A and B are shown apart, each in its own frame.
Chain A
């Protein structure tokens, strides 16, 4: 099996947008993500519980894909938070895209707190099979 590594999203965090200071005071965590490659696209699946289509923000700027999600603070009047394993933190993650992704055709859906991004490969990056004819 051959894997076209050239289209792989690089693992280092994106330099520019990620380091810009956030306007919201809430802290942010990086959502866990799966990334897999199809013949004509990359698919990014990210766990963002607490986020829906109104509170997610996806941007592509200078080959950097940024995912942001805002989570509402949970308040229960008259109750005491007695035990906690997670905080209602926002989500923030950025990936560097290779040139082989066509940023104008990126599609995103979110359901049950899971974001699914389809990043189509640019036409030039899709491998073509060349028929060889007898001369």
Chain B
């Protein structure tokens, strides 16, 4: 049906990705739902309805203006950049588990989207998108007449 066609983990090397994946595999079991590769950032959930699709993504710590959402046809792209805290000379990291850098996530949706009517909200680090189905993509009822 529709899955992320490709995605790119922009940060250089993430030694925690494997651990996170394991952690999620053990703890995040969702019954009867297709599960994706959890190492992709941001993690997304997709709800489908008759006239639109709702996509939520966990993208904590980003200013909304640095979040770039674009839709073309049936393809949704979420881009952004996550900056680490600037540390000064003499300061040091004890642990660094969060990822930084550029990220791009592309999803193929089950239908064409009316890009003018897309709603996007960013709240508590969660991006919520409502993507209405394009009128041209909606199924048409064909009236059957007797000849």
Residues of A at under 8 Å CB distance from B?
1, 3, 8-9, 11, 27, 29-30, 32-39, 42-43, 45, 47-52, 74, 76, 78-87, 89, 111-114
Contacts of B45 in A (CB 8 A): 74, 81, 83-86
Chain A residue with minimal CB distance to B122?
A112
The 6 closest A-B pairs by CB, nearest first: A113-B125, A113-B60, A49-B125, A114-B61, A79-B47, A85-B43
Interface centre among B44, B48, B58, B60 (most CB of A within 10 A): B60
- Does B23 contact A30, Cβ atoms closer than 8 Å? yes
A52 to B125, CA, bound (A): 9
Q: Is the CB of B97 within 8 A of A34?
A: yes
Interface of B is mostly: loop
Using CB atoms and an 8 Å cutoff, list the residues of chain B in contact with chain A. 1-3, 16, 20, 23-24, 27-28, 30, 33-38, 40, 43-50, 54, 56, 58-63, 84-85, 87-88, 90-98, 110, 122, 124-126
Give 16 CB contacts A-B under 8 Å: A11-B95, A29-B28, A33-B95, A42-B94, A43-B85, A45-B98, A47-B60, A49-B126, A50-B124, A51-B125, A83-B34, A83-B36, A83-B45, A111-B61, A112-B63, A114-B60
Q: Please, how many angstroms separate the alpha-carbon atoms of A51 and B58 in the complex?
A: 11
Q: Select which of B27, B38, B50 is within 8 A of A85 by beta carbon.
A: B38
Q: Which residue of A lies closest to B125 (CB)?
A: A113
In addition to A43-B85, A76-B47, 15 A-B residue pairs with Cβ atoms within 8 Å of each other are A1-B92, A9-B95, A29-B24, A35-B94, A38-B88, A48-B125, A74-B45, A76-B54, A78-B50, A83-B2, A85-B45, A86-B28, A86-B38, A86-B45, A89-B28
Distance between Cα atoms of A27 and B23 in the complex (Å): 13
The answer for the CA separation of A78 and B52 in the assembled complex, in Å, is 11
Complex CA–CA separation, A99 to B91 (angstroms)? 20
Q: With A and B bound together, what is the CA distance between A93 and B63 in angstroms?
A: 25
Smallest CB-CB separation from B61: which chain A residue? A114
Q: Is the CB of A32 within 8 A of B16?
A: yes
Partner of A50, one of B20, B28, B90, B126: B126
Known contacts A1-B90, A85-B38; A35 and B95 CB within 8 A of each other: yes
Q: Which residues of B contact A84 (CB under 8 A)?
A: 30, 33-36, 45-46
In the bound complex, what is the Cα–Cα distance between A32 and B27 (angstroms)?
Answer: 14
